[in-house]
Amino acid sequence: MSGQITDIEGIRVGHCTDLQAITGCTVLLCEEGAVGGVDIRGSASGTRELDPLSPLHLVERIHGLLLAGGSAVGLAAAGGVMEYLEERRVGFDVGVTRVPIVPAAILFDLRIGDFRVRPDRTMGYRACQAATSEVIEEGSVGAGTGATVGKLMGIECAMKGGLGTSSLTLPNGVAVGALVVVNAFGDVIDPKTGQILAGLRDGPNGLNLIDTAAQMRAGVRPRGYSRESTTLVAVATNARLSKVEATKLAQQAQLGLARTIRPVHTTLDGDAIFVLATGRVAADLNALGVVAADAVAQAVVRAIKLATGFGGVPSFADLSQMTR
C-alpha cells in the first residue's frame, strides 16, 4: 500500500503540469464506473456535469473526475478526458457509442503564472495518458501547480498550496483514499499541534505567519487576489454505496477541511468534495465518514509540506529553510 488514493482498486490518477504558465490539471479515472456524490460548501465554485451525481438522475455511475486550474476556462480540459475514455469505449451506453460521465471542478490560479494559458482539451487528454494506479507525484503538480493559500492581504503575502493524497484502511478491508488540491483563502493548520503551516505572511517579504481568522475578527477585510480561492477534494473508497450514501460521505469528509483550514468554506472559496465509490466491499457509512475525514486532513497537510515555491510565492519548505 502506498498511502495514496491509488490504493483504491479501480482508481487511476494522472497529472498534466505546465510549470512555465504555473497551471495544470489532475484526472481520476474509474473506467469500470463508480457511484459518485458531491458536497459543495464554498460560495465561489466552478463545476461541470454535476447532475449525474444526483440521486434523482438516470445515470448510476461516473467514469472519471477532472480537477483543474485555469478558473472556469479550465473546465474545457474535461473534453480531453471524455475523448480519451470514449476512444476506449468507456462510458454510459447509448447504443451507437458510450458517453463518458466526467464531472469536473476548477480553481483560480490565473494571477500566479501566465493567465493566457489554461488547462484545455489537450492537457486533459495528456493527464489521462499519464494516469497510473501506482504512486503519484504530490506537491506543486497537476491541479495544484498554481495553488496558493493565505490570501487575506493578496497574493503578495500568500504562500504556495499544492496537491496531496493519503489513504487509510479499516481492519475489515474497507479502504478510503483522499486527494486534495489546497488553494484556500484561509491558513492551513496542523491538526495535531494547532500550528499554522502555511498562510498569511506579515508582508510581501515576510517570514512570519499571521492568523487570518484573528485578523478578520479584528476587522481586516479581504483585498486584491484574496477573492479567488477554492479547495478541491476527491475521496475514493472500495465501499459499496448508493448515491445518497456517497453524498453523505462527501458531507462527512468536510470535517477534514474544517480541521486543517481556517477559515474554511468562505464566500471567497469554492470548496467541493467529490466521492467515488467502486462498490467492492460492504461498509458502515458512519465509520467510513470518520476515516474519510482523517484521510482528507492528512492529504491537506501533505499538499502544503510537499509544495514548491515559485511565481514569487514561497512554500512551507522555503519558510522552514529561511527561518532555521
Domains of the chain: 5-322 (3.60.70.12)
What share of the chain has pLDDT > 70, as a percent? 98
The yes-or-no verdict on residue 224 having pLDDT over 70 is: no
What torsion, rounded to 10 degrees, do the Cα atoms 264, 268, 295, 253 define? 80
The three cell numbers locating residue 38 = 458531491
122/111 Cα distance (integer angstroms): 22
12 pLDDT higher than 60: yes
Identify the band that residue 321 occupies on the pLDDT scale cut at 50, 70 and 90. Answer: confident
Residue 20 has pLDDT above 80, yes or no: yes
Distance separating alpha carbons of residues 261 and 275, to the nearest angstrom:
20
d(CA 232, CA 142): 12
Exposed e or buried b per residue across 123-156, where buried means at least 16 C-beta atoms within 10 angstroms of its C-beta: bbbbbbebbebeebbbbbbbbbbbbbbbbbbbbe
Q: What is the mean pLDDT of the chain?
A: 95
Listed ranges 149-153, 254-258, 310-314; the one with the highest mean pLDDT: 254-258
Tell me, yes or no, if the pTM score tops 0.85. Answer: yes
Whether the per-residue pLDDT at 83 is higher than 90: the answer is yes
306 CB neighbour count, 10 Å cutoff: 20
**pLDDT tens digits for range 250-276:** 999 999 999 999 999 999 999 999 999
Whether 2 has a pLDDT exceeding 90, the answer reads: no
Residue range 143-170: mean pLDDT, rounded: 95
pLDDT of 223 reads 78
More confident residue, 40 or 228: 40
Residue 32 has pLDDT above 70, yes or no: yes
Is residue 314 reached through a cis peptide bond, with omega within 30 degrees of 0 on the bond before it? no
As a whole number of Å, the CA-based R_g of the chain is: 18
